[in-house]
Structure formats: C-alpha cells, structure tokens
Structure 1
Amino acid sequence: MPDTTIRHSLKWKLWCMALVAALCTAILAGTTLYRSVDGFLQARHNARDIRQFTTVFEAANLISAERGPANALMSADEAQRPRARAWLEQLRRQTDDHLHRLELGAFPPELLAAVHARLDAGRRAVDRVAAQAAGARRDDDIQAAIEAMFAAWDSYFGLIQWQATELMRRDQELTAPLFKTMMLGNLREYAGRLGSYLIAPLAAGEPIPLRNRIEGQITRGRLLELWALLRPSAEALPLDAEFRQLRQQAEIRYFGDGLGLVDRLLAEAPAAGGYSLDAVRFTDRYVATMQPLEALRERLLALTVREFEQREHRALQALATLGLTTLLSLCLLAGLVLAVQRRLFGPLLRAADAVVTLADGAPALPHPRPGEAGEVRRLYHAMAMVSERLMERGRLTRELEQLALTDGLTGLLNRRALDELGERAAASPRRQDCPHLILLDIDHFKSINDGHGHPAGDQVLRELAELMRAQLRQDDHLGRYGGEEFAVLIEGYRLSEAALLARRLRRAIRHHRVRLGGEQTLSISASIGVAGGPGLGWEQIVRRADEALYRAKAEGRDRVRIYRRPPAGEQPSS
C-alpha cells in the first residue's frame, strides 16, 4: 500500500540518520575514552596489586620477627621464660592470621603447604629446646632450631618471589617498587640472621664457632651491599621527610649501634669471664636497633601504595573529564537528531503510524505540536474525524458483544458464554484445568412469581447472583443458565472440593433472607447438581450435572447431589 511504503521509507531515512549519528558517537567515544579507560584500569589494578603485595610481605616480616622472641625463649632462665613465651605467642598468632588470609587468595597450594611445613618444623624445634631446663640446652640444638626458622623464612620468600614475578609479568611498571620493597625486606631479614648467629654461643656461654663467624661475615656483607644499593635509588625517589629521617635513624641505630653491638660480642672471649650480655638481653637490645629498618620498610610500602593510589585517582579524574566531554558531545549530537526528527521526520512518522493504527482498529491520534507544518495539522484533523467514527463503531460493537455474552438482569455470564468457557476448559491438555460444573435451580420459583409478582422474582435472581459471586474465587465463572437456573464453572478443583463448594452455596442461600419491602422477607432454597472431572467433554459434564440436579429435585429439593461414574454394568448414580 502507498501509505505503508511511505511509512517504511521515512523510517528507513530516520534510522539511517540515527546510524550515522551513532557511528560518529562511537568513533568519538572510542578515540577519546579508550586510552583513558585502559589507563584507569591499569592504575587501579596496580594499586590493588601493590596493596596485596604489602599484605604478603607483612607475613614475611612476622616470620622473621618470630626469631627474636624464639631466641629469647630458648636462652631464657625460669624468670625470663614467661615474658619471652608471651612475646612469642603474640607474634605467632599474628603470623598465622596473615597466612590464613593468604590461603583465601590465588596462591599456589604447594608453596603455601611448604611454608606451613617449614614453619611448623621450626616452631617445634624451638619449643623442644625451650621445654628443656636452662642448663640442659645444648648449643647444637639451639642452632638447629634457629636454622629451622631460617628455612621457614626462605620457604616463604619463595612465595614472595612468585607473587612479585606474577605482578611484574602483568605490568613492568611495578618492577622498581617491588624490588625496593624486597630489598628492604631482605635487609631486615639479614639483620635478624646476623644477630641469630650469636644466640646459641651466648646461651651456652661458649666461644662463637668458626662456622657462625663465617656465616655472620657473609650476612654482614649482604647487609652492607643491600644498604649501598638502596641509597641512590632512595635518594632519587620523591620520598617524604619522614622516610629520610627513618633512613638516618637506621644509619645511626642499626648500622652504628646494632652492628657495633655484634662486633663487641664477637671480640669478647667467654673464657675470660663470659660475655658482657646474655642471650635474652642481647636479643632485646639488638631487636630494638632493628626497629628503624622495619619502620623504613613499612614507610616505603606505605609511600608506594600511596603513589599508586594517587595514580589511580589521577587516572579516574582524567577519565571523568574525558567522559564529561564525550557526554557533552553526545548531547549535542542527540539535540541535532532530535531537532531534525521533531521538525521533519517526527510528524510524518507519527502520522503514518496513526494511519496504521486506525486501519488496525486501535486509534491513537497524534496532536499537533508547535513548529509542525500546516499540511500536517490538516492531516491530523482529518484523522481525528475518522478516529471518532471508528471509536463510535467500536463502542457499539462492544455493547453488542456484551449483550451477546451477558445476562441483562443479573449481569452474569449467559449460557452461550459459559458454554464457550466450558468447552475450552474441557479441551485443555492440562489435567489441572479439567472443569467441574455446579448447576443450581431455585426451588419453587414459580410460586414466588405467582405469589409476589415478577419484580420480586427478579429481585430474588439479582440477590442470589450477588450472594453466589461473594462465595466464589476470582477465577471461577458464574452464569445464569436459564430462567431460575444458575451454573458455576470451576477449574483446579477435585470432585470432592467441588461438592464442598456446592454445599457452601446451598447453606448460604438457605440462610439468606430477601427483603421484599417493609417488614416482609422471603426465604429461598436451591437444589444443586455437581459433575465433572478429567476425560469428559463439556456436553457430558452438562448432562451429568443436569442428571444430578434432577435427582436433588426428585429427592425433596434443598440438597446437593453429585454425579459419580458407575461401576461397569451398573446404572449411573449421583
């Protein structure tokens, strides 16, 4: 049809314009936002990875820190033991808590299992030595326990290396901060090991073995080398005054006081009167000198996290700025498209759609808007006249349909409508839709008309219709089947439930009083027949319900009878 062709042509043109606008928008958004979004996501991932690495490294520091109270406990006498034990238990709980958090992450199970195994072995070795009397502890046992704790840290450092490798593989920008963090962590670890090489000899009051001296010198060399490597990189970083102050404190307290304390004990000879410090006091003083190293590492981690979080924030700001610019561009494009649609395509498309809806019998006329052409306004006026005539015709059609399906007196469904519903329900393949029919006939209705007049009879029919409607579900169908005969079509019931409903209707009718005028009231009753069930056609159901109703009438009225399928060879009963 010509109208349909025009409508499709106009829609095609409008969609072409919308497609061009969408392509322009996509190109604009893609070129301006792609790099910004990618940069923001990368910055957010880096900040998250650095925070996660900080948590991972904290556990390494705790494992290393356990050696301080462990060394003190293995060297303590009875008076010193409770303090050392409480200190050790506190650190062990913190270590276990951090390791438990790691188990919730995506770390290789075999690495975590190796860490737990080495840490448990080291702790058992420490506890075995600590359980012995102070005089019975052997230098070799103490040294073996210390080395077992070394092995636990070495095992965990393998997990740190795995995590660092994974992060650097994702983004090489993380390489420098990760290396600095690992170097500071190793610095604290080597400092702790250097002091641990003196614990066993101090506890036993024996000369420091040559092996311990050699290992101590090697560890001391690593410490100085790491410190020298960290100095230029730290000076090049934009670090704050607190970090520089901590670095100066580490230079003075550990590399001055701490290493000086170690050198002094290495130079002493226990045979000439023993060491100037026992193992417990040496541990307390030496661990205190390492505090700036721990503070330095924690400050570097905090500064690194802050730097990557600031990068994330800056990337977010850049993304928001570009997003706002893109949004403004989209708004301008949208405004342009809307202006064209409003003045050119919109009125014609709405007119075409209105013509189609009028042809389909569903009038939905557009109203003239400011800025539309006069020809379009005249078209709308003509369409309004057509719409009014179609609406009038539709109203008359609906009234005729209503009259064809509804009883004029009671407003209920008539027999034709009820039969149509019943046939559809009986033909439904779903078992739960099988219908049941309740046929109800007012007893002695002719005597009501004869004795009180037809208006009283009409009043009885109307009140009975309202009474029954109040007893039914919303999905039940109530209709007037004949003169004084009503029918209830129900679905989703069993026959026994339909019978209960019929009895409830009978009792409600029996107790109802119809007020005819003044003080005069009228009692009524009804005879009811019930039938239905799966596998029956609608005509069969109606016939059986009618037979059950006839039986109720024959047996004295004011009662309910149910049609039941008779056994083979017997007559039907109800």
Structure 2
Amino acid sequence: MPHSLSPGRLPQGGGLRWKLWILTLLAALCIGLLAGATLYQSVGGFVRAKLNARAISQFAASFEAANHISAERGPANDLMSADPARREPARRRLQQYRARTDRSLRRLATTQLPAGLLARVERDLELARQRVDIVALLDPAARRFDQVQAAIDAMFAAWDSYSRLIQWQAAQLVRQDEALSAAVLKSMSLGNLREYAGRIGSYIVAPMAAGMEVPVANRIQLQIARGRLLELWQLLSPGIEVLPAADPVRQQHELARRHYLRHGLALVDQLLNEYPYPMDALAFTDHYVATMQPLETLRNLLLGQTLAQAEQHRQQAWRTLWLLGLITLLALLLLAALVLALQYYVFGPLLRAADAVFALADGDAEPPRARRQDAGEIRRLFAAMGIVSDRLRERARLTRELEQLAITDSLTGLLNRRAIDRLGRKALAGTRRQDTPCLILIDVDHFKAINDTHGHPAGDQVLRELAGLMRAQLRPSDHLGRFGGEEFAVLIEGAGLAQATRLARRLKRAIRHHRLDLDNGARLTITASLGVAGGPGLDWEQMIALADQALYRAKAAGRDRVRSQRAPDTPD
C-alpha cells in the first residue's frame, strides 16, 4: 500500500547541515592556503626556468650556425688562393664545411625562427658560394683582386644577414625574461668577437690571392674590424679576470690573449708592412686560423656556462616544485581525514539512502528505516522515501520504454541502427504479403577520401548535411536513420519495390546535384550508391542482407548507382 507521509509528520533535525559546512570550510581553507598560494608561484617559476633553458639552448644552436658560416670563409679563401695542384683538396675541405653549415641551418628550420629571415640567409649564402666557386674556376694568374674581394664581401653579407636573425632571437629572449639580458649580451659579444677576428684575416687574403699589396680600402676596413674586436675584448675581460686563476674560462681567456692578440694580430701587422709577402695565402690562412681557435673555445666555454646556469635554475625550480607538492600532499592527507569524518557523519547515511533509492527504482526492496543515531535530516529522508516508492516503480517501467523509443544518432539527429532494427522487425511482423516494407541502404562514395583530405570535422559536416537533404526527400511516414559510419538506411512502409527504387533514384539525384560548402572553404560534390531490397517472406536480417547485396552491386558498377534486389521467390 502506498505511503502517505505528509511533510508535517517527517522527523525534524538540523545538526548535519552545520557539521557539513564547518568541515567543508576547513577543507577549502587548507587547500586554498597550502596549494593555491604555493603551487601557483612554484609552477610558474618552474615553467619559466624550463622555457629559459630551452630558449638559451636554441640561442646557443643559433650561434653554432653563425660560427659555421663564419668558419666557412677560411676554406673558401683557401680555394680561391689555391694553385691547380692544391685546388682539389681545398675544394673537398670547403665542401665539408659547407655541409656542416647546411646541417646547422636545417636544424634551425625546425625551430620557431622567422622563415623570412632564415630564407634570406640561405639566399645570401648561396650567392656568396656561387661567387666563390666562380673565382675558384679561374686560373690563378687570371684572378683579379676585385673578384676575390667581391666573393669575400658576399660571405660577409651572408653572416650579416644571419646576425639579424640572432638579433631577433635575442630580443625575444629578453622580452621573455629580462634576467636573461646579461647572458644574451655576453653571447652576442663572443659571437661578434670571433667574426671580427675572421674578417681581419679575410681583408688580407684577397690581395694575397691576387698577388698585390693590401690596398688602402682593405686596410681601413681591417682597422675598423680590429678596433671593434679590441672594444669587445675590453668589455668582456673585467668579468672574466675576476674569476679564480684555476677557472677554465679564465685560463682560456689568457690563452686567447697570448695566441690571438699577441701572435695572430702580430702576423697581420707583419703582412701589412711586408711586400712581397713572406708566405702565400694558404700558409697565412692556416697560421691565422690556428691563432683564432682559442677565441672559439672561449666562446664555447662561456656559452656552456650560460646553458649550465639555465639548467641549474630549472633543476632548482623543479626541486622547489617537488617540495611544495609534498606539502600539498600533506594538505590532501588532512583533507582525506576530514573526508573520513564526513563519511561517518554524512556520506555513510546518504550512501545508504542512495542504495535504497536505487533499489526502490528497480522495485527490488522496500525503503529502509532510519537508525537511531542518524541525524534528523537523514531520518526525514528515509521517511520521505515511502512517499515515492510506488511512483518510482511506475516511472522505472515508463523510462525503460522511452529509452528504447528515444534513441537517436548524436551526430545527425536521425534514428540510430538500434531504432531502425526495431522498427524494421516490427514492420515485418505486422504486415500482410502485399504490404511488405522495403529497405534502402545508402553509402556515401569515397567518404574515406573526404576524411583524409579535409579532416574528420569535414566528414561529420558532410554526414549532417546529407541527413537533412535526404530527410527533405522523404514522406513523413518513411523512417530515415544512420546505419553506421557513412551508411544510411530508409525503411519504407506501404510501398512496393518499384516505388522504393524510384525513391532511391530521387535520393541519388538529389545527393549528386547538391553542392556542399565545407567550413574550411572547400566545395564538394558528393555521390552515393544505393541498394534497395523488398519482397514477401523476408525477415529483417534477410532484408538487410539483400539490400547490402544490392548496394555491393551498385558499388561494383562504378558507384553513383541504384540497384535493387527482390526476395528469391518474388515474381518479376
């Protein structure tokens, strides 16, 4: 007999509400103070340190490519100065340097550097290489100073183009974190130091290769490069000379001072003041490049230190994040203890009530009784269950029926396969011989190509639009559904196979003549293949099989076709 418990007769109580609020506020306070105030800053610091380490690593890779472009001038100068006997070894050496430069540039192409700047570097570098190759093909006696110098100037221009890319990257680093400005400035100064040293030697190679004294213009450019090099050296030296004597950077700094500033520049001065030259261009290049090697090693050491510091900051940020995460874990453990209390005082009784509701909904049990120690709200809840016991049983029965009838395909809004199957079996079970329903299966032609070419969202758009297009061609009594994937089905009642075939042809024409504009701007023309089946004496599975056979024949005939299939014992 249904319960008739009125609200006035329900047990009263209010203690549970206050307990729930107090415990919830305590838990929220712990999480807010320990997790929100600490983890936010820690995660931000770790992410920033990680991004800085990655950015500095990419910056160092950019300087590696710059060094390769600069170093390529050495073997290029050798090739333009070589006599026929030494030309082939010089060419092979230059090819190795060029390959190394190209590998560095290809690696940079995978980063987020501006494509326009990188493309300009590649164009200028290719032009410089062409000029070097043209000079190298000339007979040594026919090489003119202006030709050699133009090739060297083109190599300078390629490096200058690349320096703009480094400047862009440096600006991005400083914009990302102003604390990186010192490291960026030091790295750029070291790169320019190596470049100016290389240019000083190149200003001498061209006249040596042409067998003439160093002209005034080259002397002026050489002195300008020399002045800039010494300025950079004086800028970097104070920060290095305060390091301990055993520090590798300070030792390399002293080695660079002795080898390059003392011997390398002295060799340049000697050639500026002696003509005829005491050595040829190849010998000068070998000696001079050897004195520059400590400069390159010094630059690599300082860059390595910068990278190591960035990695150290990242690891420190990670340790801080881990420590704060541990603190947060302790807070969560405290929250777990609070939850256990909630479980005993609140959620335990509520879960019992929930289980009772489920049992009532299934009609498996009567509502349980409240316990003496339950709070007043819980006792009222259990008492109220008796009111809805009978209604829940009735609603459960209606819900099961509605769930079977209301199932639709979520993408197209059509009936789904389960609904079509149910309607088909029901139609076949209740028809006379002359009223046997027919089934049309529609398969979108080349649908996989649409997905592969335009993406799955475009494929979904095609299915939705075709669903609306076909729905407009059907009678209200016809059942249209998505049978699976790109396949649709139409269940037709009160029509023979001939009428169903005519409807299939109308659907085919409507699909073929429809122009579908995708969201990505593409316009598609879609076709479909259709298979029609019908006839007396069939069950639903047999009708599906016949329609599928007809669809297969439509596909085999070249697609965009309609084929029909009668039951085996149906007369023509």
Q: Which residue of 2 aligns with 1:493?
A: 543
Q: Which residue of 1 aligns with 2:288?
A: 286
Q: Which residue of 1 aligns with 2:272?
A: 266
Q: Which residue of 1 aligns with 2:302?
A: 300
Note the C-alpha offset of 1:496.
Answer: 5.0
- 1:167-189: CA deviations, max 9, x gaps? 11111111111111111110100
Distance in 1 between residues matched to 2:199 and 2:157, nearest whole Å: 11
Distance in 2 between residues matched to 1:498 and 1:84, nearest whole Å: 73
- 1:334-387: CA deviations, max 9, x gaps? 212222x2331133313432443344345589999xxx976569x99xx9xx99
Say whether residues 1:322 and 2:372 are aligned partners. Answer: no
Larger Rg: 1
Q: Which residue of 2 aligns with 1:343?
A: 344
Note the C-alpha offset of 1:89.
Answer: 0.8
Q: Which residue of 2 aligns with 1:194?
A: 200
My pick for the range that moved more, 305-314 or 227-236, is 227-236
Q: Which residue of 1 aligns with 2:147?
A: 141
Note the C-alpha offset of 1:428.
Answer: 8.2
Say if 2:30 and 2:331, in contact at 8 Å, map to a contact too.
no
Q: Which residue of 2 aligns with 1:47?
A: 53
Note the C-alpha offset of 1:283.
Answer: 0.4
Say if 2:243 and 2:250, in contact at 8 Å, map to a contact too.
no
Q: Pick from 206, 210, 222: which aligns with 1:204?
A: 210
Distance in 1 between residues matched to 2:230 and 2:45, nearest whole Å: 39
Two-structure CA RMSD over aligned residues (Å): 4.2
Note the C-alpha offset of 1:238.
Answer: 8.7
Q: Which residue of 1 aligns with 2:404?
A: none
Distance in 2 between residues matched to 1:75 and 1:201, nearest whole Å: 10
Amino acid in the other structure paired with 1:84: A
Q: Which residue of 2 aligns with 1:99?
A: 105
Note the C-alpha offset of 1:145.
Answer: 1.0
Note the C-alpha offset of 1:102.
Answer: 2.2
Pair 423,281 (structure 1): closer, same or farther in 2 beyond 3 Å: farther
Say whether residues 1:231 and 2:237 are aligned partners. Answer: yes
My pick for the range that moved more, 115-124 or 275-284, is 115-124
Distance in 2 between residues matched to 1:317 and 1:20, nearest whole Å: 28
Distance in 2 between residues matched to 1:147 and 1:334, nearest whole Å: 72
SS at match of 2:83: coil
Distance in 1 between residues matched to 2:366 and 2:38, nearest whole Å: 43
Distance in 2 between residues matched to 1:91 and 1:364, nearest whole Å: 85
- 1:497-542: CA deviations, max 9, x gaps? 899xxxxxxxxxxxxxxxxxxxxxxxxxxxxxxxxx99xxxxxxxx
Pair 20,117 (structure 1): closer, same or farther in 2 beyond 3 Å: same
Q: Pick from 419, 424, 429: which aligns with 2:479?
A: 429
My pick for the range that moved more, 157-166 or 231-240, is 231-240
Distance in 2 between residues matched to 1:10 and 1:492, nearest whole Å: 62
Say if 1:49 and 1:167, in contact at 8 Å, map to a contact too.
yes
Q: Which residue of 1 aligns with 2:444?
A: none
Pair 149,239 (structure 1): closer, same or farther in 2 beyond 3 Å: farther
Note the C-alpha offset of 1:31.
Answer: 0.5
Amino acid in the other structure paired with 1:97: R
Q: Which residue of 2 aligns with 1:132?
A: 138
Q: Which residue of 1 aligns with 2:506?
A: none
Pair 176,430 (structure 1): closer, same or farther in 2 beyond 3 Å: same
SS at match of 1:79: helix
SS at match of 2:85: coil
SS at match of 2:279: coil
Q: Which residue of 2 aligns with 1:214?
A: 220
Say if 1:7 and 1:352, in contact at 8 Å, map to a contact too.
no
My pick for the range that moved more, 50-59 or 229-238, is 229-238
SS at match of 1:105: coil
Note the C-alpha offset of 1:300.
Answer: 1.2
Amino acid in the other structure paired with 2:111: G
- 1:383-437: CA deviations, max 9, x gaps? 9xx99xx9xxx9xxx9xxxxxxxxxxxxxxxxxxx9799469988824748599x
Say if 2:23 and 2:338, in contact at 8 Å, map to a contact too.
no
Q: Which residue of 1 aligns with 2:165?
A: 159
Amino acid in the other structure paired with 2:103: D
Say if 1:258 and 1:289, in contact at 8 Å, map to a contact too.
yes
SS at match of 2:84: coil
Note the C-alpha offset of 1:242.
Answer: 2.2
Q: Pick from 88, 92, 106: which aligns with 1:82?
A: 88
Distance in 2 between residues matched to 1:495 and 1:220, nearest whole Å: 88
Note the C-alpha offset of 1:146.
Answer: 0.8
Amino acid in the other structure paired with 1:48: R
Q: Which residue of 2 aligns with 1:184?
A: 190
Pair 354,143 (structure 1): closer, same or farther in 2 beyond 3 Å: closer
Distance in 2 between residues matched to 1:361 and 1:52, nearest whole Å: 64
Distance in 2 between residues matched to 1:4 and 1:94, nearest whole Å: 87
Q: Which residue of 2 aligns with 1:356?
A: 357
Q: Which residue of 1 aligns with 2:528?
A: none
Say if 2:145 and 2:207, in contact at 8 Å, map to a contact too.
yes
Pair 60,336 (structure 1): closer, same or farther in 2 beyond 3 Å: same
Say whether residues 1:33 and 2:39 are aligned partners. Answer: yes
- 1:269-316: CA deviations, max 9, x gaps? 21xxxx111001100111111111111111111111111011101100
- 1:34-62: CA deviations, max 9, x gaps? 11111111100100000010111111111
Say if 1:351 and 1:366, in contact at 8 Å, map to a contact too.
no
Pair 7,421 (structure 1): closer, same or farther in 2 beyond 3 Å: farther
SS at match of 1:276: coil
Say if 1:191 and 1:223, in contact at 8 Å, map to a contact too.
yes
Pair 189,5 (structure 1): closer, same or farther in 2 beyond 3 Å: farther
Q: Pick from 62, 65, 68: which aligns with 1:56?
A: 62
Say if 1:433 and 1:492, in contact at 8 Å, map to a contact too.
no
Give the TM-score of the pair, scaled to structure 2. 0.65
Give the TM-score of the pair, scaled to structure 1. 0.64
Say if 1:243 and 1:296, in contact at 8 Å, map to a contact too.
yes
Note the C-alpha offset of 1:148.
Answer: 1.2
Distance in 1 between residues matched to 2:11 and 2:68, nearest whole Å: 79
Distance in 2 between residues matched to 1:220 and 1:66, nearest whole Å: 20
Gap runs ≥5 in structure 2: 1-5, 398-424, 438-476, 482-488, 494-536, 550-563
Say if 1:33 and 1:319, in contact at 8 Å, map to a contact too.
yes
Amino acid in the other structure paired with 1:493: M
Distance in 1 between residues matched to 2:14 and 2:352, nearest whole Å: 12
- Overall identity of the aligned pairs, in %: 47
Note the C-alpha offset of 1:9.
Answer: 9.8
Amino acid in the other structure paired with 2:76: A
Say if 1:32 and 1:322, in contact at 8 Å, map to a contact too.
yes
Note the C-alpha offset of 1:6.
Answer: 7.8
Q: Which residue of 2 aligns with 1:456?
A: none
